[in-house]
A and B are shown apart, each in its own frame.
Chain A
């Protein structure tokens, strides 16, 4: 038992002590997903992205949760914050329950830290992860958190991933950094393991649908067979 099942259960069920938002500006902010901060009982801060505040919100929040599920299946749970879907009615101006992605916030998060501060292993894992999830916005959307002697990479914002989104294309600074290079054996192993355990893909299929999951698995197979990091 690694406690992650319990952590996900806590996120889905813990009492919400406070819902915070930044003041609504008088000018429009298209693109960014209007979000909230939850403070949960026991003192955990989490980023809440409700489906109702952005177009195609239901698909967006499912992608957010799917990124965590994939990170967990790859055993890269240090790379992505624990994320779940939660039905909640705490948002202003909405009476019914809204499906919301809820992700634990990293303490000491240093936004868009220089890539040169990260280990080669972290950069490789991010490059592989971004190809798998087909990330469209990873020219930023990462951070550094203090580690033992070296800052560790944390990936955020996976709402526009996994499938094609209008007006967006694959974009990853990490994949750019590793493009055309041979994938190290120790990082191909988690991929092999993920692809070899199809029975564990149920949660991803629930979140993404059968076709998007098949495309994700196909990208994983290509990485394993090529042993080279190529853009999808």
Chain B
């Protein structure tokens, strides 16, 4: 697997970001690799349902995945090479980082 898309789950309360599937082109079609294919295969396939009609070529499908999975809790990266992979091709979670703290709100928003 060289060029691929990572499908990533954000676990906001626990503060972990975890790749749960990788999509790549192999044997002339879009392939899904996952540490838990029974759990995540159907989720990814449902999100991509119907994509083959508009994008028959697997390379096109790979590029389309990003626009099909773009939620706060589950998203897909753009296609990228293994050497550029932020997850290094592994399934290990990435920890959330603290970026600032301690604000007291003075003026509530209107709605």
- A88 to chain B: which residues have CB within 8 Å? 103, 105
Please pick, from B17, B67, B86, B103, the residue contacting A90 in the complex, using a CB distance under 8 A: B103
A20 at the interface (CB under 8 A from B): yes
CA distance in complex: A91, B110 (Å): 20
**A29-B66, A114-B42, A140-B46 are known contacts; what are 15 more A-B pairs with Cβ within 8 Å?**
A15-B103, A16-B103, A17-B102, A18-B98, A20-B98, A21-B96, A31-B66, A31-B70, A32-B72, A37-B15, A85-B111, A87-B105, A137-B71, A141-B71, A206-B110
- A9 to chain B: which residues have CB within 8 Å? 108
| Number of interface residues, chain B, beta carbon within 8 A | 42
A55 at the interface (CB under 8 A from B): no
A36 at the interface (CB under 8 A from B): yes
- A105 to chain B: which residues have CB within 8 Å? 12-13
Quick check: A84 and B111 within 8 Å, CB to CB? yes
Quick check: B71 and A20 within 8 Å, CB to CB? no
CA distance in complex: A15, B104 (Å): 4
B90 at the interface (CB under 8 A from A): no
Min distance, Cβ B64 to any Cβ of chain A, angstroms: 11
Quick check: A47 and B78 within 8 Å, CB to CB? no
Min distance, Cβ A145 to any Cβ of chain B, angstroms: 12
- B9 to chain A: which residues have CB within 8 Å? 111
**13 A–B pairs (Cβ distance < 8 Å), ordered by A:** A9-B108, A21-B96, A22-B10, A31-B70, A37-B12, A37-B13, A49-B72, A84-B109, A88-B103, A92-B100, A105-B12, A111-B9, A112-B73
Please pick, from B78, B104, B107, B109, the residue contacting A28 in the complex, using a CB distance under 8 A: B78
Beta-carbon contacts under 8 Å, A1-40 to B = 9, 12-23, 25-33, 35-37
CA distance in complex: A17, B67 (Å): 34
> In the complex where A111-B74, A157-B72 touch, is A12 in contact with B109 (Cβ < 8 A)?
yes
CA distance in complex: A92, B100 (Å): 7
Min distance, Cβ A40 to any Cβ of chain B, angstroms: 10
Please pick, from B15, B75, B97, the residue contacting A29 in the complex, using a CB distance under 8 A: B75
